[in-house]
Amino acid sequence: MGGYAQLAGGERWHFQDLKCLLAAATPLRSGDVLAGVAACSDTERVAAQMALADLPLKAFLNEAVIPYESDEVSRLILDNHDASAFALVSHLTVGDFRNWLLSDECTEENLKTISAGLTPEMAAAVSKIMRLQDLVLVTQKIRVKTAFRNTMGLKGRMSTRLQPNSPTDSVSAIAASVLDGLMYGNGDAMIGINPATDSLSAIGELLEMLDSVVGNYSIPTQTCVLTHITSTIELINRGKPVDLVFQSIAGTEAANRSFGVSLSLLEEGREAAMGLKRGTVGNNVMYFETGQGSALSAGAHHGLDQQTCEARAYAVARHYDPFLVNTVVGFIGPEYLYNGKQIIRAGLEDHFCGKLLGVPMGCDICYTNHAEADQDDMDNLLTLLGTSGVNFIMGIPGADDIMLNYQSTSFHDALYVRKVLGLRPAPEFERWLNDMGIMKMDGGALTTSQSLPAPFSRAVLAATSEAGQ
Amino acid sequence: MNRDNRFLSGVVTADPWDNLKRLTAARVALGRAGTSLPTSAHLEFQLAHAGARDAVHSGLDADRLADQIRDKGLRCFVGNSAAVGREEYLQRPDLGRKLDEATKKSLSDWHQEEGAPEFDLSIVIADGLSARAVRDHSLPMLANLITLAEKESWSLSPVVIIRQGRVAIGDEIGSQLAARMVVLMIGERPGLSSPDSLGVYFTFEPKPGLRDDSRNCISNIRPEGLSHALASHKLAGLLRGANERRLSGVQLKDDSELVAVDSGIADIGNFLALADIRESDASES
């Protein structure tokens, strides 16, 4: 008993435990207000940040924010903590840790070394006292490399998940979006469909369709149909061509239960996909999606703020050596992240915490129509994440997902950020774009071809005559 | 008028797969200026987003709607949820699910004064996330419901219109008015191409605190989605089924036959596999 006290603004502030301190120190967002855990004033928030800055990193090893006994995510975090990796920073307070991260002493190599010694709560804590430029500066030092049929996370590269969703799972509508995206140099992270249905046979057909496209045109990429992990395991058992195993995950056992998953089920899915050995340059087989607010939305946040919950989801993710992890930052709606400002900060925090913990982070830079956000906000987050070295973003025709009814980043958006920051697609995919004549390397930059490469031209012709009949 | 062709026609590159537009409502083959979105595609997007935002933020003219309902010979109340204003409504879904004190009191006073009658059906109309959807679709849906109630000899409570309401508020109102069933019509979250989509939710034996799995939902009611007639047909099936089985929610299935909506979009399967790509490719090189 005792908690944490801080003098600030001529007042003495008290925070009853670590959980309350973390929540009060979190930059304002609607979800924490909704949960009743946010600071009551701006001064209280900064007082909490000051108290947090004085806290030794070691404190997070002594006080679990959700009890070890009652939460398997807490057990995963503490049981897998690597004390020798932690040694380099174990003497630091949260405030010192921020200084060290920003210093030139802290190298890419250092960050790689300490990753397994950091808990998600440490990452969340330091992010709460960082400005956006701090988050960008530190994150761009970190590379998290993974591979399946191509390589993600290399320096100077940024990939996209081509998301060709259709509200009726129409195969020709999906194919049209796939072609559109490929011609704009998108799809190296994966071609991944959110199906409208949860019917196993329909999902199996979509898997076969995507597999045939990747096979027919020899595209060095991977595919995914995003359905519950139990369905994916069943589809693997039925012999369907599964590259990546998708699952939504969260940072508490109870929130994961609300998604119908446990740590052992995730392991089961991973083993099933590993056994298929479909990767050619690597075998990272998991694709996770996360997002601040999901634990609160499931009533499973245990009084923890939504950003700390989210960082804990990355501790879950890293345990399974995922190919990619996607924070779907603005999808959840304004009751969790109210406006562009809150969405932008959350996207950068998530990318930072994930990368610091060794997770191959990407971001679905997105918003819904009832959030106070627009395309300009997405441009800001896109440019900031590109600068931070994000592994991948979404590529959706015209930024408009007509199935999920939200706005994300378009194929054009990806080309914009690649152009202004000199970023390139995954190397294997870049070679394919070049060989196909879709884009050519010209003076260090990819230039888009004016005409449609022959095989795709034939497909469009076939589609035109078919549709005309 | 195409805003991209006014001058410098060579600056915008059209996509040579323009024909694929007939296969999907997705924004494919937009063309490019450099590698960016051409002006016309950019402004079309902005217009769609503006329409969706206006749908979220424009208020419901509840008094006018109430007058139109009274013109049909029904009693009608207008009230508010506990959320004050749009900003609070958007950030506090918990408040949008509850009646404010004044509305709660006026409903309960009326119910007492009438001698605490019981009703078969209560109809609630809430603005939700699209007042436009409510303005455009609630009256024709209401007319169909009244016809159904007459046919089934169901007694109707007064209609209640709620500003800043969320789905669960219907259960509190149904319970206040001692209704056996409640139907709530509400504006759905607008998509970029669907600013006017109405949702209809239905609960058997409504009471506060019920969860989503106790309700049935018919979604996407709008001209390009589910028509009023079809939505009413499905709702009638659900209400009759609920009446028979005395429940609603996940255990109650929609047995109405699926009627295909003609979207005008062709479906030709996976055209990327239509041509034998590799063989013909090899023969050319």
Q: Is residue B137 part of a domain?
A: yes
Greatest extent of chain A over all pairs of C-alpha atoms, in Å:
79
Residues A65, A420: Cα–Cα separation, whole Å: 42
Contacts 24+ apart (CB under 8 A), B60-67: B60/B127, B60/B131, B60/B134, B60/B135, B60/B161, B60/B163, B61/B131, B61/B135, B62/B127, B62/B161, B62/B163, B65/B125, B65/B134, B65/B135, B65/B138, B65/B139, B65/B161, B66/B161
The C-alpha of B197 sits at a distance from chain A's nearest C-alpha, in angstroms, of: 12
Query: Residues A417-432: what's their mean pLDDT?
Result: 96
Domain count, chain B: 1
Secondary element (H or E) of residue B199: strand B198-204
Using the beta-carbon criterion (under 8 Å), do A338 and B90 form an inter-chain contact?
Answer: yes
Residues A441, A432: Cα–Cα separation, whole Å: 11
The C-alpha of A341 sits at a distance from chain B's nearest C-alpha, in angstroms, of: 15
**Which ranges of chain B have pLDDT less than 70?**
1-9, 254-264, 274-285
> Of B58, B127, B90, which Cα lies nearest the Cα of A339?
B90
CB atoms within 10 A of CB A211: 18
CB-based burial, B74-83: b 16+ in 10 Å, e otherwise? bebbbbbbbb
Q: Is residue B213 part of a domain?
A: yes
* Cβ-Cβ contacts under 8 Å for B137 (sequence gap 6 or more): B185, B196, B198, B221, B222, B228
Q: Which residue intervals of chain A bear CATH 1.10.220.70?
A: 4-139
CATH code: domain of residue B91: 3.40.50.11240
Of A175, A369, A467, the CB nearest to B190: A369
pLDDT value for A462? 86
Q: State phi, psi for A394 to the nearest 5 degrees.
A: -85, 155
- Average pLDDT, whole number, for chain A? 96
Q: Is residue B10 part of a domain?
A: no
pLDDT value for B28? 98
Nearest chain B residue to A337 by CA distance is B91
Which residues of chain A does B45 touch, with a Cβ-Cβ cutoff of 8 Å?
375, 398-400
Are A250 and A295 contacting, i.e. CB atoms less than 8 angstroms apart?
Answer: yes
Q: Find the domain containing B129 and state its range.
A: 56-245
Q: Is residue B237 part of a domain?
A: yes
Residue A451 confidence class, pLDDT cut points 50, 70, 90 = confident
Residues A406, A400: Cα–Cα separation, whole Å: 6
Nearest chain B residue to A405 by CA distance is B191
Digit-coded pLDDT (tens) for A83-97: 999 999 999 999 999
H helices of A217-290, in order, are: 229-237, 253-258, 263-276
Which residues of chain B does A184 touch, with a Cβ-Cβ cutoff of 8 Å?
35
CB-based burial, A82-91: b 16+ in 10 Å, e otherwise? eeebbeebee
Mutate one of B58, B132, B270 to test the A interface: name it (highest A CB count within 10 A).
Answer: B270
The C-alpha of A14 sits at a distance from chain B's nearest C-alpha, in angstroms, of: 27
pLDDT value for A155? 97
What CATH fold (topology level) applies to the domain A4-139? Annexin V; domain 1 (1.10.220)
Q: What is the CA radius of gyration of chain B?
A: 24
Nearest chain A residue to B266 by CA distance is A467
And the tokens for A195?
């199906």
Using the beta-carbon criterion (under 8 Å), do A397 and B41 form an inter-chain contact?
Answer: no
Q: Tokens 């709620």 identify what position? A: B162
Q: Is residue B100 part of a domain?
A: yes
Is residue A168 predicted with pLDDT exceeding 70? yes
Q: Is residue B74 part of a domain?
A: yes
Is residue A197 predicted with pLDDT exceeding 90? no
Are A334 and A300 contacting, i.e. CB atoms less than 8 angstroms apart?
Answer: no
Q: Tokens 């908690």 identify what position? A: A3
Digit-coded pLDDT (tens) for A29-63: 999 999 999 999 999 999 999 999 999 999 999 99
Are A412 and B30 contacting, i.e. CB atoms less than 8 angstroms apart?
Answer: yes
Range of weakest confidence among A122-136, A277-291, B96-110, B223-237: B223-237
Torsion of CA A293, A297, A298, A304, to 10 degrees: 50
The C-alpha of A41 sits at a distance from chain B's nearest C-alpha, in angstroms, of: 18
Residues B260, A16: Cα–Cα separation, whole Å: 59
Using the beta-carbon criterion (under 8 Å), do B28 and A397 form an inter-chain contact?
Answer: yes
Digit-coded pLDDT (tens) for B79-109: 999 999 999 999 999 999 999 999 999 999 9
Burial class (CB in 10 A: 0-12, 13-18, 19+), B173: buried
Q: Is residue B276 part of a domain?
A: no
Q: Which residues, numbered 216 to 255 in chain B, qualify as contacts with chain A under a Cβ-Cβ cut-off of 8 Å?
A: none
* Cβ-Cβ contacts under 8 Å for A178 (sequence gap 6 or more): A162, A164, A187, A191, A210, A213, B272
Q: Tokens 């290399």 identify what position? A: A154
| Angle at which helices B277-284 and A454-468 cross, to 10° | 130
Residues A44, A221: Cα–Cα separation, whole Å: 49
Is residue A18 predicted with pLDDT exceeding 80? yes
pLDDT value for B5? 55
Are A147 and A243 contacting, i.e. CB atoms less than 8 angstroms apart?
Answer: no
ipTM passes above 0.90: yes
Digit-coded pLDDT (tens) for A323-362: 999 999 999 999 999 999 999 999 999 999 999 999 999 9
The C-alpha of A205 sits at a distance from chain B's nearest C-alpha, in angstroms, of: 11
pLDDT value for B285? 36
Digit-coded pLDDT (tens) for A212-242: 999 999 999 999 999 999 999 999 999 999 9
CB atoms within 10 A of CB B93: 17
pLDDT value for B282? 41
Q: What is the CA radius of gyration of chain A?
A: 22
* 3-state SS assignment for residue B164: coil
CA A231 to chain centre: 22
pLDDT value for A208? 97
CB atoms within 10 A of CB B276: 13
Are B153 and B182 contacting, i.e. CB atoms less than 8 angstroms apart?
Answer: no
* Cβ-Cβ contacts under 8 Å for A51 (sequence gap 6 or more): A4, A5, A6, A13, A15, A21, A25
% chain A with pLDDT above 90: 92
Using the beta-carbon criterion (under 8 Å), do B24 and A172 form an inter-chain contact?
Answer: yes
CATH class belonging to A146-447: alpha beta
Which residues of chain A does B258 touch, with a Cβ-Cβ cutoff of 8 Å?
none
* 3-state SS assignment for residue A392: strand
Q: What is the value of pTM for the model shown?
A: 0.93
Residues B281, A454: Cα–Cα separation, whole Å: 7
